[in-house]
Structure 1
C-alpha cells in the first residue's frame, strides 16, 4: 500500500555486543552533557506517539491544558518514558516571517507538564501531514520547493530557531524530529532530499546542541528511491528511525497478521537498515509502529504488539514509540483506521494493548541493548518495493 497515494486520494476526496576496548560504547556515546544518560541508544526506552484525547491536535488552537494533564498522567501510568509530540506547522507559523508566540507558549507548557511526570519529549517540526490530512502553511510551495526554495528555507530556519529558544531551558527534551513523515507530504530527488536533510541536521544541532535529532520517514525511503537515500539516513543519524506498519508496508500480502512478515516486521526492517549501514551495531529506533489492520480485535492487537516487540528486542532495536496513546474521537473525520490505534480509548480506558505495553516497558526499560551477531546480507540489489520485500522474506526464511 502506497501511503502517499492514499493520503493524496483522501485529500482529494475530502546488553550490547562490545568490540575489544569498548569501542562500540565510544562510537555511539552521546555528547558529554546532562542529557547523555537519557539519550543512550544502548539502553531500551519505551514511549508513545501522543494523540490528545480532547480535540486531537486541534488542541494547539483550542487550548485547554487540563485534559492534557489527565492524558499525561495516564500515559505515565502505562510505563512510558517519552512522548513524540506533533506540532502542526501552519498553526505555529502562519507566515514565513512570523511564529506564533501563543503557540510557542503552549508548547512550553506541554513540555513542562511532561517533565513534571518524568516524560521526555521528541518534538516534530514540519507537519505537514498527519493521519491522512495535509496541514500546509500558506506560503507552501507545491513542488519540491520545500527542499530548495529560498522562501521556504528561510521560513524553516526561523521556525527551528524559535522552537530551539522555547525548548532550550527544558531538561526533558530528546530533540527534534524533522516532521511527521515529510516524504509523504513533500517529495524530491534524493540528491535534493539528502542535501536538505544534512542542512537541517546542522541547523537543529545549532538550535539545540547536544541532543538527538532524527528524520522519521515512513517506510518508503527504505524500500524505494523516495526523497531520502538509505545511505544518508543511516550515515547522518546516530539512531535511524523506522516506521513499521504491516498494512502500509504491504506485509499483509505475504501472510496473516500473526505470521513472520507482520510480527517480525520491526526486526526485519532493523536488519534492512543495518544492511545499508554495513554494521549490526547501528542503534535503530522504532519511532512509529502498529498494525493498522482494522480486522484485528483488541486482544489480537495486543498479541501482535507482544510478539513484535519481543522479536525486535531480539534483533537489537533500541527504542520503541508506539502509535499511539489514545484512540481518536469519532466526531472528527478521519480514515477509519485512525480511530482505534490507541493504547487507551478516547475516554481513558486502558485497552489490552495498553496492558501489554506496560508489561514490556516494565520488563525492558533501561536494560542494555543486545545487538545481533549474525553476518548481514548485502542490501537489496534493486531499490524497489518488490526487491526489498524479497530481501526481507529471504532474511525471515519465509515462503509466501
Structure 2
C-alpha cells in the first residue's frame, strides 16, 4: 500500500516552472516526507515544456530531473503527469494546437506525433532515476474530448482508445518496464456519451486510475457526512474492477480531496479519515494519493473557490487537521495494516455493451446502480461490482472471491 500526495508548490503553484526555485521545492518536500508519505505526483505544464511542436526545452526537462532527484533524496518516489492539459479549472495547451493552429488533440497526425515524442523524452530523461515511478499520460485530458468543455476536440471511443495506446506506447519506449498509466475524470464512468470509456480506464495501462470528487452530485445529494459521500472513492475503486479483465488489476486512487463548501472545512478531517479508511477496505488498491499537498496562494486570481483550500498544509506550510489524519493513518497502517479481504457480495451493473458502456449513467450519483450500491453500503455490505455480461461466469466470480450476486432490483 502506497500513500502519497499530488504536489502543489507553495510558491507560484504550477507556474513555478517559470521561476524554478529548488530551495522552495525542497522545503515543500521536507514537509511532505515528514508526514510519512512515500510518493508524489508532479505536473509539468505542457506549453512550458513543449512551446513549439518540434521544441522540447532541455532546461525544463533538466528542472524536472532536479525535482525528481530532490524528492528521491527524501525517500519520495515520483509519478510524472505528462500532458497538462487541464489543472484546477485552467487549460494549458501549447499555441501550436489552438486558434490559428487549431488541430484536434487526439486525431491530428502531427499533434499526436509531437505528444508522443514529448512523453517519450520525459520518460527517457527519468528512466535511470530509481525514484521515478512512471508516467501518467496526462491529468484528466479526457475533458478536452467532449461536453461540457467549451471548445472540445471531439473523438469517438475507437479514436480515443487508439490515442491512449499511442501515448502509453511512447511512455514505454522512453522508460521500459515502468508502470505507465492514464487518468480520466469521472465522465468516463458516468456519462454514456463520453468517448473515454470505463473499458479504456480499466484495461489500458499498468493500472487503473480513479479520481474521486464528491462535488459531482454526490455530496449535494447525500450531504457532507452521508454514506455515499464517505464511500464515493471506494465505490469508484470497486466500479472500475467490473470492467477489468484481470481480476487482480491494481487500482490507484490517484486523486481524492475534501472540497469546500461541499465538505465544510470543519468536517474535512473526518471526511479524510472516512474516505481513506473506506478505500483501504477495497482489495487490490495500489495506493492513495491525496489532492493536494499545499493550499493555493490566494494572491493567485480566478481559481474556483474550492481549489484554494484543498491542501494538507496551508500555503505558508502549516499542517492542517486533514494532514494530521493522513499521518496517523499511515502510522497505523505501517504498524498493523494488511490487505483487504475479498468482497463476497457483488452488485450487477448493466451499462450496455461492454466496450462502449452507453448506459453507464446508471452508475452516476442518482443513477439506479449508484444508489443501490450505496444502499448496500449503508447496511454494512461490502459490495463489489460485476458486469452483467459476467454475472453468470462462475470461474470469473471465483477469481474475485465473489460468492453472492445481487441485482439492482433485488436491492430495491
TM-score, length-normalised on structure 1?
A: 0.84
2:349 is the counterpart of 1:379: yes
CA distance in 2, matches of 1:117, 1:171: 13
Runs (4+) of structure 1 exceeding 6 A deviation are none
Tell me if structure 2 keeps the 8 A contact 1:239–1:282: yes
1:35-84 Cα shifts (integer Å, max 9, x gaps)? xxxxxxxxx11000000001111110112111111000000001110000
Instruction: Say which structure is richer in strand.
Output: 2
Give the equivalent residue in structure 2 for 1:362: 331
- Mark the runs of 5 or more structure 2 residues left unpaired by the alignment: 147-154, 353-357, 379-411
- Report the Cα offset of residue 291 of structure 1: 3.0
Give the equivalent residue in structure 2 for 1:242: 210
Give the equivalent residue in structure 2 for 1:104: 61
Give the equivalent residue in structure 1 for 2:235: 268
**Taking structure 1 as reference, are residues 289 and 387 closer, same or farther at Cα in structure 2, changes over 3 Å only?**
same
- Mark the runs of 5 or more structure 1 residues left unpaired by the alignment: 1-43
Tell me if structure 2 keeps the 8 A contact 1:290–1:305: yes
Which of the numbers 175, 178, 192 marks the counterpart of 2:134? 175
Task: Please say which of residues 232-241 and 91-100 is displaced more in the overlay.
Answer: 232-241
CA distance in 1, matches of 2:250, 2:231: 17
Give the equivalent residue in structure 2 for 1:302: 269
- Report the Cα offset of residue 254 of structure 1: 2.7
Give the equivalent residue in structure 1 for 2:198: 230
Q: Secondary structure at the match of 1:353?
A: helix
Greater RCO (Cα-Cα under 8 Å, separation 6 or more): 1
CA distance in 2, matches of 1:245, 1:220: 12
2:314 is the counterpart of 1:345: yes
Give the equivalent residue in structure 1 for 2:175: 208
Map of 1:108-257 to 2, 5 A cutoff? 108-140=65-97, 145-187=104-146, 188-225=155-192, 226-247=194-215, 249-257=216-224
- Report the Cα offset of residue 164 of structure 1: 2.2
- Report the Cα offset of residue 129 of structure 1: 0.9
Q: Secondary structure at the match of 2:295?
A: coil
Q: Secondary structure at the match of 1:122?
A: strand
1:235-280 Cα shifts (integer Å, max 9, x gaps)? 2233201000111x21124311111111000111112111122675
Tell me if structure 1 keeps the 8 A contact 2:234–2:282: yes
Which of the numbers 64, 77, 100 marks the counterpart of 2:21? 64
Tell me if structure 1 keeps the 8 A contact 2:294–2:310: yes
Q: Secondary structure at the match of 2:95?
A: coil
**Taking structure 1 as reference, are residues 254 and 294 closer, same or farther at Cα in structure 2, changes over 3 Å only?**
closer
Tell me if structure 2 keeps the 8 A contact 1:46–1:365: no
Tell me if structure 1 keeps the 8 A contact 2:297–2:315: yes
2:373 is the counterpart of 1:395: yes
Give the equivalent residue in structure 2 for 1:258: 225
1:128-185 Cα shifts (integer Å, max 9, x gaps)? 1111011110111577721111110121122122212321221001100111100113
Give the equivalent residue in structure 1 for 2:41: 84
Tell me if structure 1 keeps the 8 A contact 2:183–2:201: no
- Report the Cα offset of residue 122 of structure 1: 0.5
**Taking structure 1 as reference, are residues 364 and 239 closer, same or farther at Cα in structure 2, changes over 3 Å only?**
farther
Tell me if structure 2 keeps the 8 A contact 1:298–1:351: no
Tell me if structure 1 keeps the 8 A contact 2:203–2:245: no
Q: Secondary structure at the match of 1:179?
A: strand
Give the equivalent residue in structure 1 for 2:252: 285
CA distance in 2, matches of 1:104, 1:295: 38
- Report the Cα offset of residue 377 of structure 1: 2.8
Tell me if structure 2 keeps the 8 A contact 1:50–1:85: yes
TM-score, length-normalised on structure 2?
A: 0.82
CA distance in 1, matches of 2:329, 2:225: 18
Map of 1:33-44 to 2, 5 A cutoff? 44=1
Q: Secondary structure at the match of 1:318?
A: strand
Which of the numbers 287, 293, 300 marks the counterpart of 1:319? 287
